[in-house]
Amino acid sequence: MKLKLAIVAFFTCLAGNMLAQVPPLERIEPAFWWVGMHNPKLQLIVHGKNIARYAVKLNYAGVKLLRVNKVENPNYLFLDLEISTAARPGTFAINFTKPGEHALQYQYALKSRDHSVNRAQGVTNKDLIYLIMPDRFSNGDPANDSKPGMLETAVNRDSIYYRHGGDIQGVINHLDYLKDLGITTVWLTPEIENDEPQASYHGYAVTDHYKTDPRYGSNELYKTYVEKCHAMGLKVIKDLVHNHVGTEHWFIKDMPMKSWVHQWPKYTQSNFRDAAVMDPHASPMDKKIMLDGWFDHRMADINQNNPYVQNYLTQNHIWWIEYAGVDGFRLDTYPYNDAAYMAGWAKKVKAEYPRFSIFGETLVWSVANQAFFTQGNTVNRGFDTQLPGVTDAQVKDAIAEALNGKDGWTDGVHRLYAILAQDFMYQDPTRNVVFLDNHDMSRFYSVIGEDFDKYKAGMALLLTMRGIPQMYYGDEILMKNYSNPDGLVRLDFPGGWPGDKTNKFIAGGRTAKENQAFNYVKTLANYRKNCTALQTGKLMQYIPENGVYVYFRYDTKKTVMVAYNSDTTSRVVATDRFAERIKAFNTGINVLTGEGLPTLKNISLPGKTTLVIELKK
């Protein structure tokens, strides 16, 4: 009880201190909205010193003030509006009045929606995603490296914990590089404001949901970035965090109510055990700690059962789609969220943007655990999550095992075969994002022991696999390191900063092996871009034999044979067992070398090699 009282006293004191600091009308969010949305309801959060003591009025055709909600903290009001189909774009005043005080007024804008065909277009298995950590990719505007007044102003490229100065302009400057590589979709780790005192470069501790971090650029620049991507035929994924925010967030420093975040008698960290969510025998306390425990002392765990929180997050995410026109969301730490809220959230997003794509980060330890979070209630969860796809960590681990493991009944390449054989658990496994590494794990080139043959074999598997392939920045130039700590896998892309000794964005700045890797990926990625069989075609796989794993991607237009030899020695593979897929074809072309195969009866397969063969009649 004493600890509970201490926590209450802390937040009461914090709120009291803020009363003297918050101006009469500090902010209204969302700051503007649009007419013609599917959902006519809009809830505005109003923040200002003792704003709850003011009466609220507005007068605009088609807009109705349904309710003024007062909460525990008098610095907040929540205004429920209804925007009918009769409402037209325009600006109207929201008036705040209090006897004896000057009236406050906010000019609220309703805008026209942008229905351009290349906005919110969705990311599918036709695409290839390139993941970038903006702070570590390229510094396009050195003038924004440090911003006075922010809690962290130091820039130090010699430290993996400090900011390095990469930004949105740096990404824009190298979109042609990505296009040339064969990329179709760009995913940035969160570019939203993270005004934390240290190590906030990663972006996962948001402190202002409606503001691009000024060290990356501005909202206007972010919108320009999306527009430039679309103009070049590239799509954009925005990275979202539902589960937590930075403790320097303005609404954490002056919380609307104690139930805004998950409260504990003392600091309680998540146990990070996703099994507690799905275990039919689980302790309720284990499940609560998993879902409601904090990720970190500096990351407040948001209470998604609070309806005000729900409205705030959902509206913010819809706002960004409509404002910037992004094409998909990646959802960070998905298993830690409230399932019912996330299902409702997904329905609301899909209602506004039917083509929009969503996938959740699920770094879990089995196919069943992954499928548990996907839509369709395919594993008897008794609940439909409405989540189309997940980050397929099982395929990632299986590819690493296929490249590094020894041949055995369930080992080595057999694991990859077995993982894909469990695709029946998903409503649609082609909506999963397949990958080899990312910003939270050891880089692929290090995982395979810097073996270049394995590198090429793994890249070929990634780019011919079912699902949506995703690369991590620098994979194409053999960037390496183990995630011990994470900063070692988040090093700068050489050439992204003025004065860099080498520039890996151009062929002349890369070593011979780096160019070989780049060209290998480029060849296959651009082939995939024009091959519907590798994008949306069916997959048929065969039980591995003697360390050789073969599968086919095919549709009515093309058939592609993928053959991987996990052994170190060459093998001649007789293809008679694949007759059901090969019988209509007589020859083939090695996609990566352009060499012809005059016969398909026997295929010579070098050790540690993946052949990608387009079959010909």
Q: What is the tens place of the pLDDT at every residue in 249-300? A: 999 999 999 999 999 999 999 999 999 999 999 999 999 999 999 999 999 9
**Scanning the structure block, which residue is given the tokens 């043959």?**
453
User: Is the predicted pLDDT of residue 420 greater than 50, yes or no?
Assistant: yes
Yes or no: say if 102 and 119 are a contact pair by the CB < 8 Å rule: no
Strand partners, 192: 212
CATH superfamily of 2-111: Immunoglobulins (2.60.40.10)
User: Is the predicted pLDDT of residue 133 greater than 50, yes or no?
Assistant: yes
Query: What pLDDT does 23 receive?
Result: 76
**Scanning the structure block, which residue is given the tokens 């040339």?**
180
Q: Which two tokens stand for residue 282?
A: 């689980």
Q: Name the residue among 94, 93, 88 with its Cα closest to residue 61.
A: 88
Task: Determine whether 248 is an active site residue.
Answer: no
**Least confident segment among 129-143, 236-250, 406-420, 519-533:** 406-420
Fold of the domain spanning 129-530: TIM Barrel (3.20.20)
Integer Cα distance of 123 and 128 in angstroms: 9
Active-site position among 254, 361, 475, 514: 361
How many alpha carbons lie under 13 Å from residue 298 in its C-beta half-sphere?
Answer: 13
Instruction: Give strand ranges (E) for 296-416.
Output: 299-301, 328-331, 357-360, 389-390
User: Is the predicted pLDDT of residue 319 greater than 70, yes or no?
Assistant: yes
How many residues are present in the chain?
Answer: 617
3-class state of residue 442 by DSSP: coil
CATH code 2.60.40.1180 region(s) in the chain:
535-616
Q: Name the residue among 216, 176, 171 with its Cα closest to residue 192.
A: 216
The answer to pTM > 0.85 is yes
Query: What pLDDT does 407 receive?
Result: 84
CATH code 3.20.20.80 region(s) in the chain:
129-530
Q: Which two tokens stand for residue 327?
A: 């094409």
User: Is the predicted pLDDT of residue 7 greater than 60, yes or no?
Assistant: no
Query: What pLDDT does 16 receive?
Result: 41
Q: Exposure of 244 by Cβ count < 10 A (0-12 exposed, 13-18 middle, 19+ buried)?
A: buried
User: Is the predicted pLDDT of residue 15 greater than 70, yes or no?
Assistant: no
Q: Which two tokens stand for residue 573?
A: 């593979």
Query: What pLDDT does 5 receive?
Result: 34
User: Is the predicted pLDDT of residue 412 greater than 90, yes or no?
Assistant: yes
Rounded mean pLDDT of the chain? 95
Fold of the domain spanning 535-616: Immunoglobulin-like (2.60.40)
> 24 or 616: whose pLDDT is higher?
616
Query: What pLDDT does 406 receive?
Result: 86
Integer Cα distance of 532 and 529 in angstroms: 8
Query: What pLDDT does 4 receive?
Result: 37
User: Is the predicted pLDDT of residue 61 greater than 90, yes or no?
Assistant: yes
Q: Which two tokens stand for residue 512?
A: 């011979």
User: Is the predicted pLDDT of residue 519 greater than 70, yes or no?
Assistant: yes
Query: What pLDDT does 605 receive?
Result: 97
Query: What pLDDT does 22 receive?
Result: 67
User: In which band, very low, low, confident or very high, does the pLDDT at 101 lie, cut at 50, 70 and 90?
Assistant: confident
476-509 pLDDT tens trace: 999 999 999 999 999 999 999 999 999 999 999 9
Active-site position among 332, 401, 476, 514: 332
